[in-house]
Amino acid sequence: MTRSLQAVAYRRPSALESAAGAQRLGLETSRGATPAGMADHPRFFTGFLTSPQVASAGLLAVADVAAARYYQRQLRASLDPVVTGNGDRLRFESFSGCGGVYARLDVLDAGLDGGEVGHGTTNVDVNNPLREALSRIGADDPLHLRVGPEELAVTTLDGPVVEKKVPLPDRWLRGFAEAQVIAAGFDLRAELSAAETVRFLRSLPRAAARSGGPRWVVPAGGTLRPTTRAVPGAVCLPGPERLIALQRVLRHATTLRVYGPTVVTGADATASAWEAVLPGMRLTLTLSPDASRGFSGEGGVLEALAGDEAAEDAELISVLLAWEPRIDVADLAAAAGLTAERVRAALIRLGTSGRVGYDTAEAAYFHRELPYDAERVERHNPRLRSARALVAAGSVALDGAGGTVTAEDGHVHRVRDTAGVFTCSCVWWAKYRGGRGPCKHALAVRMVRRGAAVERGAAVERGAAVERGAAVERAAAAGRETVRGDGGVR
C-alpha cells in the first residue's frame, strides 16, 4: 500500500482543565486552510457548549473511529480528527484506519453559545489524557470550548512543542473522496424514536461475524426488522459491529436516521449512513459495503477525474466556494454559468482533493479543505492510470455507441453503451457488474469518446467561424458599390 508520513504539529497538547468553577476544553489546531490562506494553528471558536456531556461523547466517538481498524485490527491506525468551521457550526470528521468507516460530528448553532464560529479546516489533537478527561464530564458541568490556541500562546510560544508523524495511506485519501460521492446518492430510509434506537443498537453484535452474507434491515412500524436479502426499501447493514461508536451517544440520542441508496430485490451489498440526532448536534457514521472493503476502491470519482471538462469546471467552482455550510447547486450553477449536472461533476472533482464533503441530513455538499491534494489521489488511482495508458497507446477504437480496447496482453475487450452505462467483456466487469465503478477499458473508451466529441465540437466551431468569415466578406463585397461621375451608382 502506498503511503507517506504527514507531520501534524501543535503548540501544546489539547487538554481539559478546571478554572473558575467551569471546565475548559482547549482543542489545539495544526496548520490549516482559512479564507486568508494557509495558517499555523488557526482559531475557529471560543465559547460554551450547550450540552457538554453530549458534545464530549460525540467527540470521543469521532476519535474512536480515527483510532480504529475494523478490518485487520492488528495494524496500527491513529489519525487525528479534522475540524471545519463553517460560520454557523463546527464539523469534526475522521476516517477509520482500514478505510471503511467515515464519522462526522456536526455541532450546530443550537449546540454552541457565546462565540462566533470562524471559517477554515485543520487537524485537532485528541490525545489519550484528553479522552480520559472527556469521559468524566458530568451532565451539569459547564464546558467552555476553545478550538485553536489562546492569544497568549500565539505571542509567547515560539514554534510547535508537540509533533506527530502519522501514516497517510493513499487508500485513506481516496476513501475520503469516495465516501462523499456515495453518500450523495442516499435518501432517508428510516427514522427511529429514542427508545427504538436504544433497542436496535443494543441488539447488534459487537464482534465481526465469521461467515454469511451482508445483513439487511427493513423499516417496519417505527423499527427496523432484519432480513437475509435485499428487498425494495431495505438498507444494508454491512459489518454491524462497526456502529459501536454510536454507543458513546446512545443515551443522548433523540432519533436514529438511516440513509441508503435505492435497492432492488437480490441487490448486492451497499454502503449506508447512520445518523444519531443529539441535542444541538448530529453524529453520523457512514459504512462501506463490507467490513473488509474500504471506500477507496468504489470507483465513484473516476468519471469526474477522467474528464478535462470537469477539471476546468472545478477550477471555476472552487473560486466561488466560501466555506458555506450548505452548498446550493442551483445558485452555483447560476453564478458559474454552468448546468446543474456540470456543477455536481465539478463538486465530485473537488471532493477528491477534500475541498467538499456531503451532509446526508441536509442532502447538500459543504465546503472544507482537507490537507491533501487532488493530484496525489488521481496519480495513485490504478484504474485511472491504466485507462490513460491505454488511451496514450492508441489501444481504443470507437465503434458506434461503444468501442474495443486492446489490452496490454493482446486481448480485445468489447465495451458497449447500455442505457448510458458502459458494460465490458473483461473479468472486472463480470465480477463487479459496475458495482465498483467503471473498469479501465470502459473508462478508456469514455475518455476517447469525450475527446472525439470535444474535437468534433471544435471542428464545428472552426467551420462555423470560417462560414462567418465568408459571410462577412460577401456582405462587404455587396456593399462595395462603384459611384458614376453623375453621382449615380454603377
Query: The cell 472545478 sits on which residue?
Result: 314
Q: Is 79 in a helix, a strand, or coil?
A: coil
The architecture CATH gives domain 181-297: Roll (3.10)
Band of residue 322 on the pLDDT scale cut at 50, 70, 90: confident
Q: What is the pLDDT of residue 168?
A: 63
Who wins on pLDDT, 404 or 163? 404
Q: Is 162 in a helix, a strand, or coil?
A: strand
Band of residue 49 on the pLDDT scale cut at 50, 70, 90: very high
Tens-place pLDDT, residues 159-218: 555 777 666 666 777 788 788 888 999 999 999 999 999 999 999 987 776 656 789 999
Looking only at the bridges linking them, the beta strands covering 272-278 and 255-260 are antiparallel
- Asked if pLDDT for residue 73 goes beyond 60, the answer is yes
pTM of the model: 0.82
User: Domain coordinates of the chain in residue numbers?
Assistant: 3-168, 181-297, 302-376, 381-449
Distance between CA atoms of 11 and 161, rounded to whole angstroms? 5
Q: What is the pLDDT of residue 458?
A: 43
Q: Top-level CATH class of 3-168?
A: alpha beta
Band of residue 383 on the pLDDT scale cut at 50, 70, 90: confident
Q: What percent of the chain has pLDDT over 90?
A: 46
Average pLDDT, the chain: 83
Q: What is the pLDDT of residue 421?
A: 80
Who wins on pLDDT, 156 or 67? 67
Q: Are 11 and 162 in contact (CB under 8 A)?
A: yes
Burial of 309-344, coded b for 16+ CB within 10 Å and e otherwise, reads: bbbebbebbbeebebbbebebeebbeebebeeebbb
Rg (CA), the chain: 27
Do the first three CATH levels of 181-297 and 302-376 match, i.e. the same topology? no
Shortest CA distance to 219 belongs to which of 245, 185, 257?
257
**Average pLDDT estimate for 145-156:** 66
Q: What is the pLDDT of residue 84?
A: 94
Mapping DSSP onto H, E and C, the string for 371-415 reads: CCCHHHHHHCCHHHHHHHHHHHCCCEEEECCEEEEECCCCCEEEE
Backbone angles phi, psi at 182, to 5 degrees: -65, -45
**Average pLDDT estimate for 288-299:** 82
Distance between CA atoms of 437 and 298, rounded to whole angstroms? 6
Q: In what order do the strands lie in the sheet with 22-27?
A: 15-19, 22-27, 143-147, 45-49, 112-113
Q: Which of 265-269, 277-281, 349-353 has the highest mean pLDDT?
A: 277-281
Looking only at the bridges linking them, the beta strands covering 255-260 and 187-193 are antiparallel
CATH 1.10.10.10 applies to domain 302-376:
yes
Q: Which of 79-93, 159-173, 212-226, 241-255 has the highest mean pLDDT?
A: 241-255
Residues 6+ apart with CB under 8 A from 402: 414, 415, 416, 417, 422, 445
Tens-place pLDDT, residues 97-136: 888 999 999 999 999 998 899 999 988 998 889 999 999 8
Backbone angles phi, psi at 234, to 5 degrees: -80, 160
- Asked if pLDDT for residue 149 goes beyond 70, the answer is yes
Band of residue 138 on the pLDDT scale cut at 50, 70, 90: confident
Q: What is the pLDDT of residue 477?
A: 55
Distance between CA atoms of 452 and 112, rounded to whole angstroms? 53
Q: What is the pLDDT of residue 487?
A: 44
Q: What is the pLDDT of residue 460?
A: 41
Shortest CA distance to 150 belongs to which of 7, 14, 8, 9?
14
